């Protein structure tokens, strides 16, 4: 198991760079929603206080699941190409070196599927070893969706839940 790294600005920057690397390898606009430690700084840019930083990237993947095996397989390839590997056999957590000494970035996939038990591991179809942990409450981030404008064909519309 990877020890919890120290939270710092450098660790947050490593997590941001890892997210950019994954999206680059994804090759299209991902359907996941970023949650967790990368969000506070974005929401509180005018605050006099700075978030301590994060060493992980938490993403809510209900929309990826709704898009089916094509998107989840694309996400698995993107993680592999960004040099993320499964941690301790967990299909919902990947780790990679953060390009800063002693920084390990975690990429965690979270779902909120009502037809599955809380904290169950959800395996993705057409993936070798990728899935999500079913964590209640995370789905709120992916529920207020709308159809993409016609000039953005890379976005798919999803039915409301």
pLDDT digits (tens, 9 = 90+) for 52-66: 667 789 999 998 888
Q: Taking residues 150-156, report their average pLDDT.
A: 50
Task: Report pLDDT digits (tens) over 35-48.
Answer: 887 887 777 777 78
Band of pLDDT at residue 74, cut at 50, 70 and 90: very high
* pTM, entire model: 0.81
What is the helix, strand, coil percentage profile of the chain, to 5? 30, 20, 50
Q: What is the DSSP letter of 34?
A: E
- The 10s digit of each residue's pLDDT in 80-110 is 999 999 998 899 999 998 665 567 889 999 9
Residue-wise over 75-84: b if at least 16 C-beta within 10 A, else e?
Answer: bbbbbeebeb
State the average pLDDT for the chain.
82
Q: Across 37-41, 101-105, 130-134, 140-144, which has the greatest mean pLDDT? A: 130-134
CB-based burial label for 58 (10 Å; 0-12, 13-18, 19+): buried
């Amino acid at each position: 198991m990877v020890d919890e790294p120290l939270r710092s600005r450098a660790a947050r920057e490593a997590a941001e760079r890892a997210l950019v690397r994954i999206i680059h390898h994804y090759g299209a606009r991902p359907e996941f929603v970023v949650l967790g430690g990368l969000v506070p700084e974005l929401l509180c840019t005018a605050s006099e206080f700075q978030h301590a930083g994060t060493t992980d990237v938490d993403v809510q993947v209900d929309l990826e699941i709704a898009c089916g095996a094509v998107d989840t397989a694309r996400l698995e390839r993107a993680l592999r190409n960004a040099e993320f590997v499964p941690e301790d056999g967990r299909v919902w957590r990947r780790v990679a070196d953060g390009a800063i000494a002693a920084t390990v970035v975690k990429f965690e996939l979270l779902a909120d599927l009502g037809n599955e038990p809380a904290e169950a591991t959800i395996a993705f179809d057409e993936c070798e070893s990728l899935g999500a942990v079913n964590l209640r409450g995370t789905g709120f981030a992916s529920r207020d969706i709308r159809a993409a404008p016609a000039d953005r064909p890379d976005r798919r519309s999803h039915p409301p839940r």
